[in-house]
């Protein structure tokens, strides 16, 4: 039986009355040579938009291959001990009552008991991550840590104090199974701090603020109150994005806020120091303009130094 028939839309002499109340679109059925065929292929050439998409895909694939190569290199560094590495084993004895959470690596990280976890951090020597060095010292009071420092080929030279920032240099051999955490710091020409944990199956963590949050979580000292935890996150972001990188007006506003908060309490979040204090103090100390800060902020900075956790960064200031 005959089917319904419609007029062919590809004929140039067919005129279709279009409504005037809708948006007009280009004719997708335009023939070569017509006025609407400007986006169609001509003379076998590829659409420029398609070329741009292919170039973007090639660039993404190139970056992915570079990331894979970098991760493979870090995996070899973390799994192959070398007698020339800078190694330090720090004491687990706790000297201060602050940061006394009950952290359990097996519960926090979900790995087999007794397995060594590797933390690999890339940082630019032009801007040392002071907060991470302070947190490294706190972690050494809680766990048995195998600490190493390396210099990437992208960096021509590194000051001696940066080579020993995780402790004194040791040349004796060591056994990885004696430790709970491996903390490897690589001085490298990178725009931001980068951290890789559990090398084989975890994506990198980017930015000093995010890495600091990860390390602080290993201490088991995170606030249980969600409101206080949110306030801590807010102070950490304020420290790294406004104190460290903000304009002069932003810094002045943060200093006023700090001075006001510290006028009501010894620490930013109450009666105990937290990651908020570490982040804000390190960003202020890095700027080397402590003398111009308000009175409450200067008193608080001195209290931070008195804790003893900031001694490791004093040679870097």
Hey, is 197 helix, strand or coil?
strand
Residue 79 predicted with pLDDT over 80: no
Residue 310: the pLDDT is 85
Residue 139 lies in a domain: yes
Strand partners of residue 196:
120
Tokens 């009950």 appear where?
Answer: 102
Same domain flag for 233 and 145: no
Residue 276: the pLDDT is 94
State the CATH number of the domain containing residue 286: 1.20.1050.130
Residue 166 predicted with pLDDT over 80: yes
Same domain flag for 132 and 235: no
Residue 84: the pLDDT is 37
Q: Both tokens of residue 32?
A: 């070569």
What angle do helix axes 275-287 and 130-140 make, rounded to 10 degrees?
140
Q: Over the stretch 63-78, which tens digit does the pLDDT of each residue have?
A: 776 676 667 656 655 5
Residue 97: the pLDDT is 45
With contact defined as beta carbons under 8 Å apart, do 120 and 199 qualify?
Answer: yes
pLDDT band at 102 (very low <50, low <70, confident <90, very high): low
Give the separation between CA 24 and CA 20, rounded to whole angstroms: 8
Residue 99 predicted with pLDDT over 80: no
State the CATH number of the domain containing residue 154: 1.20.1050
Residue 110: the pLDDT is 56
Q: What is the 3-state secondary structure (H, E, C) of 191-224?
A: CCCEEEECCCCCCCEECHHHHHHHHHHHCCCCCC
With contact defined as beta carbons under 8 Å apart, do 188 and 123 qualify?
Answer: yes
Residue 293 predicted with pLDDT over 50: yes
Residue 8 lies in a domain: no
Same domain flag for 259 and 140: no
Give the separation between CA 100 and CA 219, rounded to whole angstroms: 8
State which of 222, 242, 277 marks the end of a domain.
Answer: 222
Residue 191: the pLDDT is 92
Same domain flag for 144 and 236: no
Least confident of 143-147, 297-301, 305-309: 305-309
Give the separation between CA 254 and CA 297, rounded to whole angstroms: 11
Of 215, 221, 268, whose CA–CA distance to 243 is shortest? Answer: 268
Q: Over the stretch 259-279, which tens digit does the pLDDT of each residue have?
A: 999 988 889 997 888 999 999
Of 130, 135, 154, 144, whose CA–CA distance to 243 is shortest? Answer: 130
Residue 13 lies in a domain: no
Measured from the Cβ of residue 5, the count of other Cβ atoms closer than 10 Å reads 6
Q: What is the 3-state secondary structure (H, E, C) of 278-310?
A: HHHHHHHHHHCCHHHCCHHHHHHHHHHHHCCCC
Q: Both tokens of residue 301?
A: 């900075």
Same domain flag for 116 and 240: no
Residue 129 predicted with pLDDT over 80: yes
199 or 70: whose pLDDT is higher? 70
Residue 152 predicted with pLDDT over 80: yes
Instruction: Please tell me the total count of domains within the chain.
Output: 2
Same domain flag for 109 and 212: yes
Least confident of 9-18, 192-201, 220-229: 9-18
φ, ψ for residue 145 (rounded to 5)?
-115, 130
Residue 96: the pLDDT is 41
Measured from the Cβ of residue 88, the count of other Cβ atoms closer than 10 Å reads 18
Same domain flag for 231 and 200: no
Same domain flag for 84 and 203: yes
Range of the domain at 215: 56-222
Mean pLDDT of all residues belonging to the chain: 77
Residue 11 lies in a domain: no
Give the separation between CA 113 and CA 102, rounded to whole angstroms: 16
Residue 10 lies in a domain: no
């Amino acid at each position: 039986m005959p089917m319904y028939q419609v007029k062919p839309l590809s004929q140039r002499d067919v005129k279709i009355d279009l409504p005037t109340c809708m948006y007009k679109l280009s004719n997708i059925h335009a023939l070569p040579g017509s006025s609407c065929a400007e986006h169609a292929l001509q003379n076998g050439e590829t659409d420029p938009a398609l070329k741009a998409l292919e170039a973007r895909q090639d660039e993404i694939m190139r970056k992915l291959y570079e990331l894979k190569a970098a991760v493979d290199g870090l995996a070899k560094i973390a799994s192959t001990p070398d007698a020339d590495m800078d190694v330090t084993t720090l004491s687990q004895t706790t000297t201060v009552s602050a940061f006394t959470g009950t952290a359990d690596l097996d519960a926090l990280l979900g790995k087999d008991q007794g397995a060594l976890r590797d933390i690999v951090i890339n940082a630019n020597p032009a801007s040392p991550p002071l907060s991470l060095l302070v947190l490294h010292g706190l972690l050494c009071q809680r766990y048995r840590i195998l600490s190493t420092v390396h210099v990437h080929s992208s960096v021509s030279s590194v000051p001696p104090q940066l080579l020993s920032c995780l402790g004194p240099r040791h040349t004796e051999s060591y056994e990885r199974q004696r430790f709970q955490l491996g903390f490897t710091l690589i001085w490298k020409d990178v725009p931001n701090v980068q951290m890789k944990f559990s090398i084989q199956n975890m994506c990198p963590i980017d930015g000093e603020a995010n890495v600091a949050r990860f390390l602080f979580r290993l201490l088991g000292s995170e606030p249980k109150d969600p409101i206080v935890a949110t306030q801590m996150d807010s102070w950490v972001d304020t420290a790294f994005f406004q104190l460290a990188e903000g304009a002069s007006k932003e810094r002045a506003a943060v200093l006023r806020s700090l001075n006001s908060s510290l006028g009501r309490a010894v620490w930013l979040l109450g009666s105990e120091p937290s990651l908020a204090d570490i982040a804000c103090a390190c960003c202020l100390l890095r700027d080397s303009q402590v003398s111009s800060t308000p009175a409450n902020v200067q008193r608080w900075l001195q209290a931070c130094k008195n804790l003893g956790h900031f001694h490791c960064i004093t040679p870097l200031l």
